[in-house]
A and B are shown apart, each in its own frame.
Chain A
Amino acid sequence: MDFTLSNEHKLFRKMYREFAENEVKPLAEEIDETERFPEETVKKMAKLGMMGIYFPKQYGGAGADALAYVMAVEELGKVCGTTAVILSAHTSLCCAPIFENGTEEQKMKYLPDLCSGKKLGAFGLTEPNAGTDASGQQTTAVLEGDNYILNGSKIFITNAGYADVFVIFAMTDKKLGNKGISAFIVERGFKGFSVGKHEKKMGIRGSSTAELVMEDCVVPKENLLGELNGGFKIAMKTLDGGRIGIAAQALGIGEGAVEEAIKYTKERVQFGKRLSQFQNTQFQLADMHTRMQAAQFLVYNAAMKKQNHEPYSMDAAMAKLFAAEAASDVTRRAVQLFGGYGYTREYPVERMMRDAKITEIYEGTSEVQRMVIASALGVK
């Protein structure tokens, strides 16, 4: 068992960190404040090969591994939760299902542009009446000649306003329930497809979260992803992978808060002492760091299992459950250590606290993760 990073992974960490510090951190406050999607950052990430980190070079990917990808989301998350989720949703929820389930033609058609960052990806599963219970899909797809006609709407879709390629789920056979769901690759420009209302959120406010509306949306039948009626499996498998991405985002946010809190408490003087000299501060920071370190091991472990093609569904669920709850806890404690300043927008920890909360909710709530873990344990 080896817990040391390879030289390559150390370089990845260094590269991501320099990029995050110089290019992402300076925008974090502003994009949160103005709820602006950082398009320029996506372009910069694209130039560095960050939009297709772990996909093979033959599809335009960078040819690195899942750990290198997870570290990217983590380092971005340390300075900006928004940027982290943009990358995570694009990679885990759009590129990954196409790579894992697509035909060679589909992969060659879509992956090079997605991996190069020329196009941004998104994922449409959640509906107003199908949240945690994804099986309650109401969007329908009906084959008419050479096309499927999709009708329905999706909500809370990350990257919606800026994505070009969407992996969308719809009922192809209502009678079959779960087993009647299929996945489709839908392009923004397809007839009958539009982006609806944008959500106003508590955190990750720079990410574009919106509704997708399909009104007699025409999708060529060769854009069926995977087997007909095999969509639910694709969705669950995609979410397994996505959870590693969100776990990495949570990990980053929590670690970022610990770094900020260490820096601040070493400077701030009260009662004639630096805050870092008070035992309460020391104990708090020790706990916070320990939680995030544990989270890191879980997240990296899940990433390595995915990379090595081992079953990782439970590992991903544990990583996300633990990292998300740790991030929420650690950011809340960081705000407390900062006191009044922590509650102001002058310091980043209140933003981190708001950003952390969503990681307990999306891509499977913490409760869903517990269900996944318990079921893997055979506890029924």
Chain B
Amino acid sequence: MSEFKNTDVEQFHGVWVFCEQRGGALMPTDLELISEGRKLADELSCELCGVLLGDKVEGIAKELGGYGADKVLVCESPLLKDYTTDAYAKVICDLVEEKKPEVFLIGATNIGRDLGPRLAARLHTGLTADCTHLDVDVNKYIQFLSESSTLDLSKQKFNMEDRNLKMTRPAFGGHLMATIICPRFRPCMSTVRPGVMKKAEFDQKKADACVIEKPAFSLKPEDIKTEVLEIVKAAKQLVDLTGADYVVSVGRGISKDVKRGIELAEELAAVLGGVVGGSRAVIDAGWLSADHQVGQTGKTVHPKIYVALGISGAIQHKAGMQDSECIIAVNKSDTAPIFEVADYGICGDLFKVTPLLIEAIKAAKAAK
């Protein structure tokens, strides 16, 4: 084992993925990151290695192979059963210093975002937060820019030999994108936004071939300065309209069958993981309570997706939702003003369209 020197860039090899488990089960992010890590490992022609910490978790390690991991490092101890910053950071830092991976990916979950910065600070290297796109190969990166940026690529110069990991992330709520590199130190670390990277097809043969390695590590109870008193799983978090990422609002268009209209909105909101809102007409009619109102006299929302079902789009309604990232409108009348602010419009009966939309979104989410 040679001495760990993080500026000896050439000494670092391999792509690592921190595989988070909660209650002994893998997180969906793990599979997304292993799938993405596979692509990067192929571009770097190196090994992809999962890092799994927990208590009696060896049994779930092989599954990671099915998504592309060549190897999984499994560290088991009762002290690692539940996540603690101190225990996980110590064990992982020791492993990194011993084995020197070039790239280290961590899911940007609440736990990943607790662990990642602590590791990077201790390892004395850079960390890029919440990445939505990763490239090593320059050609692939140029291809990405041509699709996802407004840059004039004819004026950009690229070093085709560049093997740095190019980590792209949104800033300022997605108004700007930045590609970050970490050229001087290794490993090159990134937390990756959950739900962004595409999960590969599971391959049983690869799972069977995956190597499980159980490295030695040292961890003592006194290394851990915090004490987990309890872990509570909440059925559903209460989200208010203003802070919601997804809002499905209904308007006068549901009058034909109010109960069904609201049910559909609730179902769509549940599929998206959001909440239900309403136009003034709906609130005044007493179909929804006042706290649901979106608009001038109601609440101003800026979710990732705003779905307007049967809302004509009076100026006072638009005032409360036009800054949403993506607006989808379903309305019977193709001249409804809501279509002027909508990113995607469907002219049709909401009672027919909404169930189809629910199915389609469910299917699209399942395919991820």
Min Cβ gap A310→B in Å is: 44
The proximity string for B residues 311-322 relative to A, scoring 1 for CB distances below 8 Å and 0 otherwise, is 000011011000
Residues of chain A lying within 8 A (CB to CB) of residue B315: 264, 267-268, 341
Q: Is the beta-carbon distance between B280 and A346 smaller than 8 angstroms? A: yes
Min Cβ gap B340→A in Å is: 9
Residue B297 CB within 8 A of the other chain: yes
Most buried by B among A29, A264, A346: A346
Which bucket holds chain B's interface residue count? under 10
Query: In the assembly, what is the distance between CA of A268 and CA of B337, in Å?
Result: 12
Q: Is the beta-carbon distance between A346 and B318 smaller than 8 angstroms? A: no
Question: Nearest chain-A residue to B280 (Cβ)?
Answer: A346
Residues of chain A lying within 8 A (CB to CB) of residue B316: 341, 346-347
Residues of chain A lying within 8 A (CB to CB) of residue B296: 346-347
Min Cβ gap A168→B in Å is: 41
Q: Is the beta-carbon distance between A267 and B318 smaller than 8 angstroms? A: yes
Residues of chain A lying within 8 A (CB to CB) of residue B319: 267
Question: Nearest chain-B residue to A267 (Cβ)?
Answer: B315
Residues of chain B lying within 8 A (CB to CB) of residue A267: 315, 318-319
Residues of chain A lying within 8 A (CB to CB) of residue B280: 346
Query: In the assembly, what is the distance between CA of A65 and CA of B296, in Å?
Result: 36
Min Cβ gap A343→B in Å is: 14
Q: B297: which of A264, A268, A346 is its contact (CB, 8 Å)?
A: A346
Query: In the assembly, what is the distance between CA of A26 and CA of B280, in Å?
Result: 15
Query: In the assembly, what is the distance between CA of A268 and CA of B316, in Å?
Result: 10
Min Cβ gap A367→B in Å is: 37
Residues of chain B lying within 8 A (CB to CB) of residue A29: 297
Query: In the assembly, what is the distance between CA of A29 and CA of B298, in Å?
Result: 11
- Residues facing A in B292-347 (CB within 8 A) are 296-297, 315-316, 318-319
Min Cβ gap A91→B in Å is: 30
Query: In the assembly, what is the distance between CA of A346 and CA of B317, in Å?
Result: 11
Query: In the assembly, what is the distance between CA of A346 and CA of B280, in Å?
Result: 10
Min Cβ gap B315→A in Å is: 6
Residues of chain B lying within 8 A (CB to CB) of residue A264: 315
Question: Nearest chain-B residue to A263 (Cβ)?
Answer: B319
Query: In the assembly, what is the distance between CA of A346 and CA of B316, in Å?
Result: 9
Query: In the assembly, what is the distance between CA of A346 and CA of B296, in Å?
Result: 8
Residues of chain B lying within 8 A (CB to CB) of residue A268: 315
Min Cβ gap B115→A in Å is: 36
Query: In the assembly, what is the distance between CA of A268 and CA of B297, in Å?
Result: 16
Min Cβ gap B318→A in Å is: 7
- Residues facing A in B276-303 (CB within 8 A) are 280, 296-297
Query: In the assembly, what is the distance between CA of A347 and CA of B280, in Å?
Result: 12
The proximity string for A residues 241-273 relative to B, scoring 1 for CB distances below 8 Å and 0 otherwise, is 000000000000000000000001001100000
Min Cβ gap B292→A in Å is: 15
Query: In the assembly, what is the distance between CA of A264 and CA of B297, in Å?
Result: 13
- Residues facing A in B337-365 (CB within 8 A) are none
- Residues facing B in A215-260 (CB within 8 A) are none
Question: Nearest chain-A residue to B337 (Cβ)?
Answer: A269
The proximity string for A residues 267-299 relative to B, scoring 1 for CB distances below 8 Å and 0 otherwise, is 110000000000000000000000000000000
Query: In the assembly, what is the distance between CA of A331 and CA of B115, in Å?
Result: 57
Residues of chain A lying within 8 A (CB to CB) of residue B318: 267
Query: In the assembly, what is the distance between CA of A113 and CA of B325, in Å?
Result: 50
Min Cβ gap B342→A in Å is: 16
- Residues facing B in A13-36 (CB within 8 A) are 29
Most buried by A among B280, B297, B318, B319: B297
Query: In the assembly, what is the distance between CA of A156 and CA of B58, in Å?
Result: 81
Question: Nearest chain-A residue to B295 (Cβ)?
Answer: A346
Query: In the assembly, what is the distance between CA of A268 and CA of B319, in Å?
Result: 10
Query: In the assembly, what is the distance between CA of A19 and CA of B297, in Å?
Result: 18
Question: Nearest chain-B residue to A348 (Cβ)?
Answer: B297
Query: In the assembly, what is the distance between CA of A346 and CA of B320, in Å?
Result: 14
Query: In the assembly, what is the distance between CA of A240 and CA of B316, in Å?
Result: 42
- Residues facing A in B140-188 (CB within 8 A) are none
Query: In the assembly, what is the distance between CA of A346 and CA of B297, in Å?
Result: 7
Min Cβ gap B150→A in Å is: 26
Question: Nearest chain-B residue to A260 (Cβ)?
Answer: B296
Question: Nearest chain-B residue to A30 (Cβ)?
Answer: B290
Query: In the assembly, what is the distance between CA of A346 and CA of B298, in Å?
Result: 11
Question: Nearest chain-A residue to B316 (Cβ)?
Answer: A346
Min Cβ gap A33→B in Å is: 11
- Residues facing B in A330-356 (CB within 8 A) are 341, 346-347
Query: In the assembly, what is the distance between CA of A347 and CA of B319, in Å?
Result: 12
Min Cβ gap B364→A in Å is: 34
Most buried by A among B280, B296, B319: B296
Most buried by A among B280, B316, B318, B319: B316
Query: In the assembly, what is the distance between CA of A267 and CA of B315, in Å?
Result: 7
Query: In the assembly, what is the distance between CA of A277 and CA of B319, in Å?
Result: 19
Query: In the assembly, what is the distance between CA of A131 and CA of B315, in Å?
Result: 45
Residues of chain A lying within 8 A (CB to CB) of residue B297: 29, 346
Query: In the assembly, what is the distance between CA of A268 and CA of B318, in Å?
Result: 11
- Residues facing A in B182-203 (CB within 8 A) are none
Min Cβ gap A265→B in Å is: 11
- Residues facing B in A150-183 (CB within 8 A) are none
Residues of chain B lying within 8 A (CB to CB) of residue A346: 280, 296-297, 316
Question: Nearest chain-B residue to A269 (Cβ)?
Answer: B315
Q: List 14 A-B contacts (CB under 8 A).
A: A29-B297, A264-B315, A267-B315, A267-B318, A267-B319, A268-B315, A341-B315, A341-B316, A346-B280, A346-B296, A346-B297, A346-B316, A347-B296, A347-B316
A interface residues with partner B (beta carbon < 8 Å): 29, 264, 267-268, 341, 346-347
11 further A-B pairs in the complex, CB-CB below 8 A; given A267-B318, A346-B280, A346-B316: A29-B297, A264-B315, A267-B315, A267-B319, A268-B315, A341-B315, A341-B316, A346-B296, A346-B297, A347-B296, A347-B316
Minimum-distance CB pairs A-B, first 5: A267-B315, A268-B315, A346-B316, A346-B297, A267-B319
